[in-house]
Structure 1
């Protein structure tokens, strides 16, 4: 089978899957067929696993062309860079730092963006360039500005875009700053997640503009939000679906490990108690999102042991308080908790989880994000 035949077969197969799941809408059909994904995928990738947050082994076009073509036209994310480029070759690094997003996510976010002829769009995170090419085909290159923080990733994407015949305004820089020279924008789309929507994105938009971005609180959980920029300089909108994106580099957090919180060996000065809430209940992506929206400045870490048990650690970002909850196999109904510091982190997290549970465990689409003109972020249940 020739490369052309593989491309056509893969593109048709993927299109059928995307149409079936509702992500590829008719107004994006022409762009999808004009901008094949394989033109924007490097020769070595790490296909995503079923849960969306893990990667498989490297797939090389030179070593196994059939596997590479299958990966390119599968509905999975493809990691294309590790550790900001520090890890090279076919070795999987520590932290994925660039990818070609899952096609379902790509077209779901483009659908949420609701572009129209003449719209000027700011894209944050050029990545491989595929999303930029789709937007350029739909709106014309002159109406797109795309920003990428990683110089090497940007250079590769710019070459791919040029080969495909597209020439958007392509900037190497911090996406959190937007791009004032080509503002104002009618639409902003981010292919990386944020904890806080940068002020520049709102300030560089016209009132009524739409911002589509993955947003997640400190605690965890994440969803794509669709914000409308308001006349007063704020923005407001609903979350539309779950997501799991790499964080905007300017908002990455360097988190201390559990030992940094202890002045002496665990349990140190911690106060012991028990709970009937299993730590396992806190691992649901929507639960983490709900907890994070109500408990600021707290994040979890999990310490696992060989027998299948684990300790859930809760830390505050101020490094003043911590809590642990132990889970063991065997259907236990009570779990030991230890807490220390001015904040009782387990109590806060448990109260937030129970609030979410008592309201029927609402999904992401039930939540609304409000960004006030002074930059404050508020998440509320509808």
Structure 2
């Protein structure tokens, strides 16, 4: 049995206002191709299918096309709901979809009801369980760890009963959580403050493989406990992540896991340096077509930095400053009170708003504007 483990599709997401719809279409095309070329029997999507609880119509259609494409290729799909999904919406028509090989696990009641991929391979899908909504029903404290432990115990109990009759049964469990020892990114929604949402990897003992979702970097927490990560980069903190998936082979001989990479990668660049250096240095040419996050190290805030950066890096999305020289602070009110001319008042206002003094060209433009205002005011008074 060959399984492809992925998660966190976040369909409908944007990147700093840039739609990722076409990028997600490209990933879906790759997924279908990989399933054909590598002989995949089943795809696991470990939560966060959608980015929002109420996805747009075109996003739902996009997901429908993906499921249809997998079904037409004879590939079954097992999906669990994540913390971004509406479990009720995602789980709609679950019973009907099972007849087409699409298995949805979005309800607490389904945690101990495995998907039987074959006589000897089971998949237990644990949806994301909000502790406040699930703890009372499970009879545990309202924490992520206790709720997930109870759900996994129910699955383990069912597995033990099945193994009593069929000792060779293999079991995969899916969960959407933050496992201790894993590396987060900036693009994930926090489950609980103060690291209270983290759970130990030992919770997944007893299963042959744990296919986790929620964290967006592909990683191995333990040999049989892994995150596939998101197929696309969703923040600049993921710039150096290579996005991919896990191929899991389960048979009587044991477990084998192989990594694969998505060819389509969102091109991101994090640039740091003075404005002059970034605009002139040839070694930054590779970033001219990338989505850029720029940190300027100039001691003085340069004029029109974003406009000038975009002349070379037209897809610059974020701009920050590091290393601006501290200046002697004189209160804005005192500077305005001490201004002897309208021009000096304008300079004080500009410095306050932009965080730097006027350059020579701006000083000339300001002087011309003040002179014109004075002439107009004098003309109006004479009239």
Q: TM-score, normalised by structure 1?
A: 0.29
Q: Which one has the bigger helix percentage? A: 2
**Whose Rg is larger?**
2
Q: TM-score, normalised by structure 2?
A: 0.29
Structure possessing the higher relative contact order (Cα contacts under 8 Å, 6 or more residues apart): 2
